[in-house]
């Protein structure tokens, strides 16, 4: 009979333990969620992303970076290199692995607890009892925990994708700063040449006694100021180059790349503000992440009452072998008595977390609306200024130089007047380049707020198109 009881323990206990182990067996995927992140990132940026895990395919992708660096970089090529090679972005991908592990963890039961007691002295043999117990709430709340983890995983994927889009826009902005500042250096070099010519003329006139010393000093002051400005602009270009290097994950000899000499001309027709807020709210990855966090907090709030009321509740099997009675086997249950703590603090915490998440979501939506308007206003103002220079100031300055040149040829004006006219033309061109650069920077800011996609305007309406404008390639 005693052997029969022991056999029952082995049979029932083994069956229960086996069921628990089968329920808990799971593995964590190595690239959890990256495929969906890569697909959405490609849609938003037009570039390929990889999670570098030192595979042969990864090595082939990195070999393509050298080909992109061998010719003058476009904005799109700079973004592509950054998304392939930026180590900070690669570190962000590991968050997917952590979040995927949390999903797997949420689907696992906690390990059962085995207890064994033996009593001394033996009379007439040792009394002992054994039990195996499983947390009751783990079983009851398993589906809900999986829902919370799935929502948090979705939030993580949105956050990682947003990091990809943000890096792409930061890289584009750094690219436009570099090209614009480099174009400015070219103009400053022309200004320096003009100032040097004016200084040489002033020197000759002073030596001939045809001008007072102050005229020469004025031209010398202008020349030295231009020379200093040129040196400062060259330093800015070097800083821009290193900043873009860091975003692309390059250093050393890899940094010997070049960019085009000029910024692309902005499009003739600018985007309309109408409908952009709705586009931003729909496409914003930060709002997607906030919504998923809000969903997770809402689920946690629903279960906070029972989770706080019955912590540590467990069920299991208990076998007792006692000198005075025969061995017995039966179910066991352990329940806390809610006298001092009835779960109110846990409920209050869950409610506060949900309210905070809801308010954070509202604040994020308000910020996005404001950023859309702010970025569009800056872009629109720069676009109008670009058109002003293109249609009025640049042609006007050229006409004035041509007229002054004719007057100089006819000996109606001095060489100083002609040089001043050319200097004014170059200064206007300098302001024009700064305005074009400001336009592209504002456009990238708007693009980031819109979640990476710039709408294509059709009949006064903004329509989303995953294709990139040829002006931004």
pLDDT at 323: 62
Within 10 Å of residue 466's Cβ, how many Cβ atoms? 12
Kindly give, in sequence order, each residue whose CB lies less than 8 Å from that of residue 229, ignoring residues fewer than 6 positions away.
188, 191
Which of residues 72 and 136 earns the better pLDDT score?
A: 72
Task: Please give the CATH number for the structural domain made up of 2-472.
Answer: 1.20.1600.10
Which tokens belong to 351?
């409610």
209: left (phi over 0), alpha (psi -120 to 50) or beta: left
Asked if residue 16 has pLDDT above 70, the reply is no
In this prediction, residues 78-82 reach a mean pLDDT of 93
Task: Report the percentage of the chain scoring pLDDT > 90.
Answer: 29
Which of 204-213, 343-352, 420-429, 452-461 shows the lowest mean pLDDT across its residues? Answer: 452-461
Which of residues 446 and 13 earns the better pLDDT score?
A: 446
Domain ranges of the chain: 2-472
pLDDT at 10: 45
Q: What's the 3-state SS for the chain?
A: CHHHHHHHHHHHHHHHHHHHHHHHCCCCCCCCCHHHHHHHHHHHHCCCCCCCCCCHHHHHHHHHHHHHHCCCCCHHHHHHHHHHHCHHHHHHHHHHHHHHHHHHHHCCCCCCEEEEEECCCCCCCCCEEEEEEEEHHHHHCHHHHHHHHHHHHHHHHHHHHHHHHHHHHHHHHHHHHHHHHHHHHHHHHHHHHHHHHHHHHHHHHHHCCCCCHHHHHHHHHHHHHHHHHHHHHHHHHHHHHHHHHHHHCCCHHHHCCCCCCCCCCCCCCCCCCCCHHHHHHHHCHHHHHHHHHHHHHHHHHHHHHHHHHCCCCEEEEEEEEECCEEEEEEEEEECCCCCCCCCHHHHHHHHHHHHHHHHHHHHHHHHHHHHHHHHHHHHHHHHHHHHHHHHHHHHHHHHHHHHHHHHHHCCCCCHHHHHHHHHHHHHHHHHHHHHHHHHHHHHHHHHHHCCCCCCEEECCEEECCCCCCHHHC
Asked if residue 256 has pLDDT above 70, the reply is yes
175-201: per-residue pLDDT in tens?
999 999 999 999 889 888 888 888 888
Asked if residue 30 has pLDDT above 70, the reply is no
Asked if residue 437 has pLDDT above 70, the reply is yes
Which of residues 445 and 222 earns the better pLDDT score?
A: 445
Asked if residue 174 has pLDDT above 90, the reply is yes
- Strands 113-118, 128-135: pairing kind: antiparallel
Residue 219: closest CA among 238, 199, 189, 244: 199
Confidence at 416, pLDDT banded by 50, 70, 90: confident
Asked if residue 254 has pLDDT above 80, the reply is yes
148-169: per-residue pLDDT in tens?
888 888 888 999 999 999 999 9
pLDDT at 226: 85
Q: What is the pTM of this model?
A: 0.79
């Amino acid at each position: 009979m005693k052997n029969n009881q022991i056999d029952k323990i082995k049979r029932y206990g083994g069956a229960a333990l086996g069921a628990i182990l089968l329920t808990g067996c799971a593995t964590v995927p190595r690239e959890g969620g990256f495929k969906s992140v890569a697909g959405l990132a490609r849609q938003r940026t037009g570039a390929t992303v990889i999670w570098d895990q030192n595979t042969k395919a990864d090595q082939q992708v990195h070999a393509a970076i050298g080909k992109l660096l061998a010719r003058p970089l476009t904005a799109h090529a700079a973004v592509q290199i950054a998304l392939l090679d930026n180590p900070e972005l690669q570190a962000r991908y590991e968050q997917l692995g952590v979040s995927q592990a949390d999903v797997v963890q949420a689907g696992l039961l906690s390990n059962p607890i085995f207890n064994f007691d033996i009593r001394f002295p033996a009379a007439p043999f040792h009394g002992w009892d054994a039990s195996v117990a499983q947390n009751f709430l783990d079983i009851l709340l398993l589906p809900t925990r999986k829902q919370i983890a799935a929502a948090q995983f979705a939030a993580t994927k949105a956050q990682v994708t947003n990091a990809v889009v943000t890096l792409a826009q930061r890289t584009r902005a750094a690219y436009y700063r570099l090209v614009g500042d480099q174009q400015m250096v070219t103009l400053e070099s022309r200004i320096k040449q003009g100032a040097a010519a004016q200084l040489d003329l002033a020197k000759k006139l002073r030596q001939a006694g045809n001008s007072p010393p102050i005229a020469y000093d004025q031209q010398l002051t202008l020349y030295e100021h231009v020379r200093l400005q040129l040196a400062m602009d060259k330093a800015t270009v070097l800083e821009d180059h290193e900043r873009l290097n860091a975003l692309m994950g390059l250093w050393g000899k890899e940094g010997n790349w070049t960019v085009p000499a000029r910024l692309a001309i902005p499009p003739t027709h600018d985007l309309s503000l109408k409908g952009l807020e709705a586009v931003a709210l729909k496409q914003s990855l930060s709002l997607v992440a906030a919504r998923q966090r809000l969903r997770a907090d809402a689920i946690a709030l629903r279960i906070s009452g029972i989770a706080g009321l019955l912590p540590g509740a467990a069920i299991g099997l208990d076998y007792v072998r006692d000198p005075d009675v025969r061995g017995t086997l039966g179910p066991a249950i352990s329940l806390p008595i809610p006298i001092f703590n009835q779960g109110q603090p846990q409920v209050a915490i869950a409610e506060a977390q949900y309210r905070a998440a809801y308010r954070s979501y509202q604040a994020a939506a308000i910020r996005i609306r404001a950023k859309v308007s702010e970025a569009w206003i800056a872009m629109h103002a720069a676009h109008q200024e670009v058109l002003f220079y293109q249609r009025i100031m640049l042609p006007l300055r050229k006409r004035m130089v041509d007229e002054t040149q004719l007057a100089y040829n006819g000996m109606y004006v001095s060489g100083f007047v002609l040089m001043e006219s050319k200097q004014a033309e170059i200064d206007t061109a300098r302001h024009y380049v700064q305005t074009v650069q400001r336009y592209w920077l504002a456009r990238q800011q708007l693009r980031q707020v819109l979640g990476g996609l710039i709408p294509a305007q059709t009949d006064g309406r903004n329509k989303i198109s995953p294709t990139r404008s040829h002006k931004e390639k």
